[in-house]
Amino acid sequence: MLPHHIKKKHQLIQILSILKEEEWKPLRKMAQSPFFTRNQEIEKLLSFLKKFSPSFSAKRLTKELIFKKLYPHQDFNDSKIRKLFSETASLVKRFLVIDKIENDSSISELELLEIYQERQLNNEFTLLSEKVGKKYSKSNFESPEYLLKKIRFNELRKLQFDTKKIEQYQRLLLESKNDQINYFEIKEAIVNAEIANNNRMKNVEGISVERSNPLLKTIYENLKSIRGHFDQKVFDDTLKIYENNLSILSKERKYEIYQYLQNIIVTAVNEDEGNLYTSFNFYKRALKAKYIFNDGTLSGIQYLTIVILGTRLQEYEWVEWFMTSHEKKLSPNNIDQYLLSANTNYYFGRKMFKKALEYNDLRKINGDIEILLAKMNQAKIYFELYLLKETEYEFLSNKIMLEKKWIKRDKNYERSIIKRFLNFHFILNKMLIYCANVNKKPDSFEKLKHQIFKNPILTNDKWIKEKLEQIKDIKL
């Protein structure tokens, strides 16, 4: 009878292949605990399979070999080994869930709040709720995961809320509504990026000759594994393989893989702003090794992205060098527009607002969305100048009013885009009125926040949140 080779697609093997080296020890300890399982063979199976991880590709890895190691004095029994594999897979899945909860305090806290609520431990719920609430009261970068946890927290808190405090309860409901809108807007942007990735990947996978190349196969499989779930180590390892083999890749394949790496890192930044430095360093490496260039030119959107990243990370000297040395390498498509936008973002980030205003020239910008973004940038610049007492209240107030009238007259924009633009100017106007008010009452700032949260803020507009905190105690 032919040996029963263990297939890579087997559920247990697939799960074990994703384990990190440091996860094997606690998993085996869990398998030894009678609290989780009374089957002592599970730990023995894990100890044996560990020798073949993470690839599990050895030809000698068969069911017969495993059975002989675990049951040396018994005849091979296929149903017995399949049952053991199934029990082991269940335990490993349970381990992954527990490990996830234990290593993410925000998940464990939300689970505990739900338990307190279900069991009516109101005092415990209140104490933990106050602690957890501090995490969601800051103006952090709102990634989809952050918003999803915040929404769940507010849903739990809502059921414990004293409904007699109508105003506070209403504010909580509005905040939840706003978070849900922001969550789906951010997810939509991320999914659109992932769709672009998938389309590109389909083209890559269609190249059967190059797919047979072990080097390319490793790169493509690694990149597929981190789509939608960024893994820093896998990304770094793949980038190293790619860079070490640039000389043997065709020009087309070299740039194609770079584009896919770029899309993954952009998605990672959208998911978590903590990946900004990873993204910035990726672009620096791409520039140094020159695989960022397509036929010797740099696309305008990449040029702009690099300037924005570097400015946000306050790498001003490097950004100046980059802009000066790469301006002439830009692709001719809309070159003036990208140069203007890059300079606007750079000088705005450096708080050189009058300089930023010079480059934010609406007359030289093409494209409906581009004009819309330029108009919003202009409004932000004028607001910053107002805070510096370098422009007048009446001027900015009239400017906001004119922009609101303009967008309502223009027929080129979708309804959702018009709504975002109007919401942005509504918020800006409310902050302007608050700044100009010389007779602020003790609750004026809370009322301002309440008015702002009634309207969905533009997706992830960090600037609005920063200005809101800045003007809290302002006196103009």
- For the chain, what percentages of helix, strand and coil (3-state, to nearest 5) are there? 75, 0, 25
Q: Report CA Rg, the chain.
A: 28
State the average pLDDT over residues 265-274: 74
8 A C-beta contact, residue 91 and residue 46: no
Of the pLDDT bands very low, low, confident and very high (cuts 50, 70, 90), residue 418 is confident
Of the pLDDT bands very low, low, confident and very high (cuts 50, 70, 90), residue 161 is low
8 A C-beta contact, residue 271 and residue 190: yes
8 A C-beta contact, residue 289 and residue 316: no
Question: Of 84, 99, 101, nearest to 37 (Cα)?
Answer: 84
Of the pLDDT bands very low, low, confident and very high (cuts 50, 70, 90), residue 448 is confident
**207 pLDDT more than 50:** no
Predicted TM-score (pTM) of the model is 0.61
What is the predicted pLDDT for the residue at 383? Answer: 93
Dist. CA 244–CA 94, nearest whole Å? 39
Give the rounded percent of residues in the chain with a pLDDT score beyond 90.
22
**193 pLDDT more than 70:** no
**204 pLDDT more than 70:** no
**44 pLDDT more than 60:** yes
Dist. CA 166–CA 466, nearest whole Å? 28
State the average pLDDT over residues 122-143: 77
What is the predicted pLDDT for the residue at 351? Answer: 93
8 A C-beta contact, residue 153 and residue 132: yes
8 A C-beta contact, residue 8 and residue 41: no
State the average pLDDT over residues 465-469: 86
**194 pLDDT more than 70:** no
What is the predicted pLDDT for the residue at 349? Answer: 92
Look at 200-214, 291-305, 379-393 and tell me which has the smallest mean pLDDT: 200-214
What value, to the nearest 5°, has the Cα angle with vertex 386 and ends 385 and 391? 80
Give the rounded percent of residues in the chain with a pLDDT score beyond 70.
85
Dist. CA 260–CA 459, nearest whole Å? 25
Which is more confident, 229 or 359? 359
Dist. CA 14–CA 9, nearest whole Å? 6
Query: Tokens at residue 356, please?
Result: 């930023």
**381 pLDDT more than 90:** yes
**143 pLDDT more than 80:** no
- Phi then psi for 332, rounded to 5 degrees? -70, -15
Residue 245 exposed, middle or buried by CB count within 10 Å (0-12, 13-18, 19+)? middle
Calculate the average pLDDT of the chain: 82
8 A C-beta contact, residue 15 and residue 91: no
pLDDT tens for each residue of 333-370: 778 888 999 999 999 999 999 999 999 877 777 777 77
Which is more confident, 206 or 85? 85
Long-range contacts of 101-105 (CB under 8 A, 24+ apart): none
Of the pLDDT bands very low, low, confident and very high (cuts 50, 70, 90), residue 185 is low
Which is more confident, 413 or 152? 152
Dist. CA 263–CA 241, nearest whole Å? 18
Question: CB neighbours (10 Å) of residue 130?
Answer: 9
What is the predicted pLDDT for the residue at 209? Answer: 40
Look at 59-63, 211-215, 465-469 and tell me which has the smallest mean pLDDT: 211-215
What is the predicted pLDDT for the residue at 459? Answer: 42
Dist. CA 298–CA 188, nearest whole Å? 28
State the average pLDDT over residues 436-453: 82
**195 pLDDT more than 80:** no
State the average pLDDT over residues 384-396: 90
pLDDT tens for each residue of 10-34: 888 888 888 888 899 999 999 999 9
Which is more confident, 343 or 476? 343
Dist. CA 288–CA 318, nearest whole Å? 13
Long-range contacts of 275-280 (CB under 8 A, 24+ apart): 275/230, 276/309, 276/312, 276/313, 277/313, 278/232, 278/235, 279/309, 280/306, 280/309, 280/310, 280/313, 280/315
